[in-house]
Structure 1
Amino acid sequence: MTQDNAVNTAVTLPLAPGQWPFDPLHSAVNFTIRHLGIAKVRGRFREVTAELYVGERAEEIRVSAEIALASIDTGNADRDAHTRAADLLDVETRPTMTFRSTRVSGVGDDWSMEGELTIGEVTRPVTLAVEFGGLGDFNGRRHAGFEATGEIRRSDFGLDFGAGLLGDVVKIQLDMEFMEPEGE
């Protein structure tokens, strides 16, 4: 057992073990990309599904998500239509982006989640910084909130159209809520 795993094993999780259902009404997948190197374009993906499995120890946590790329929304219908087209996201051949965690680790307020992000036929490793927002009751059910942030390079996924017009780095911010398993 590595020292890092020993730290994870000692962590007492404030979450009940089991499958935590995703709350899409209180979750968001947002991004920021540079335009012409001088301004930022912000957007989000409106169609997201996610799963959270919590085990007895931190190393047993598993997260997966699927994002419909056609659900992109930057607040400009013309820009969104172009982004969906073959020269950018090409949602006809790449309809989804998926994420699967491979490792969750941390101590105190400093957590990270390593995983694999797949866009089309390309899968690359991604590490996200994770902040646990806490627990709260809503409509008779306990909710857990998380924020995860990180960045990817478009070129790593073969999405290199518009070099010079669009930045290569895409910053990601995920605000996710999950509900405690029933009967816990």
Structure 2
Amino acid sequence: MTIDIPGYRPGTYVIDPSHSEVGFSVRHMMISKVKGTFHVIEGVIEAPENPLDAKVSAKAETASINTKDEGRDQHLRSADFFDAEQFPEITFVSTGVRHEGDEFHVDGDLTIHGVTKNVTFELEFGGFGTDPWGNYKAAVTGSTKIDREEFGLTWNAALETGGVLVGKDVTITVDLQGALQA
């Protein structure tokens, strides 16, 4: 099955880190959410004639985490969480693209903390266009939810009022803009 996407051009799109972001949110103290980003990302989207045959590979550096609190960021980089020294990257490699109704899904292998699990990102196309310098660009937003403990991120602290400091479910959101290579 081939699908028509207005503006779609086959080729290799290189992710532009200055116009892309990998973000996450997780429950804090069971009452609010903490959000963060990874600033250093890179990746490639191989877009063949049939968009359903596309392949994605991307990575983020764990040491680039930013939650707007340097003390928390240092803790997240430590062996209690990401262990950025031993596991410097989070990676995603797609294994398939599906189109169901009006929705696109990208299945793939997500590796965090040395553990690889199959996940599905729900995609929303931002569109396609040419920037003022003649570069053809594509943009997508995707999200998935994971259980951080399945990736070996198990540190937590019990609260006096009941519950725990850090929730298990983490929502990962990617906003990617890529430039078509000549």
TM-score (norm 1): 0.90
Q: Quick check: 2:125–2:141 contact (8 Å CA) kept in 1? A: yes
- 1:39 corresponds in structure 2 to 32
Percentage identity across aligned positions? Answer: 37
The answer as to whether partners of 1:109 and 1:131 remain within 8 angstroms in 2 is no
Q: Secondary structure of 2:156's match? A: coil
CA distance in 1, matches of 2:75, 2:114: 21
Contact 1:11 1:107 in 2 (8 A): no
For structure 2, the residue ranges without an aligned partner over 5 or more in a row are: 158-163
RMSD: 1.3
Kindly indicate which of the two structures has a greater share of residues assigned to helix: 1
Match of 1:86, SS state, is coil
**1:70 correspondence with 2:58:** no
Tell me the equivalent position of 2:148. Answer: 154
Q: In 1, distance between residues paired with 2:80 and 2:15?
A: 32
Q: Residue in 2 aligned with 1:127? A: 120
Select the residue among 3, 18, 29 that pairs with 1:11. 3
Q: Which amino acid aligns with 2:178?
A: F
**Which consecutive residues of structure 1, in runs of 5 or more, have no partner in the other structure?**
1-8
SS of corresponding position for 1:25: helix
Aligned to 2:15, what secondary structure does the other structure show? Answer: coil
Q: Indicate which of 98, 104, 120 corresponds to 1:105.
A: 98
Give yes or no for contact 1:58–1:105 (8 Å, CA) kept in 2. Answer: no
Residue 166 of structure 2 corresponds to residue 172 of structure 1: no
TM-score where L is the length of structure 2: 0.91
What is the CA distance between 1:51 and its match in structure 2? 0.6
State how far apart, in whole Å, the 1-side matches of 2:41 and 2:105 are: 21
Paired residues in the alignment total 174
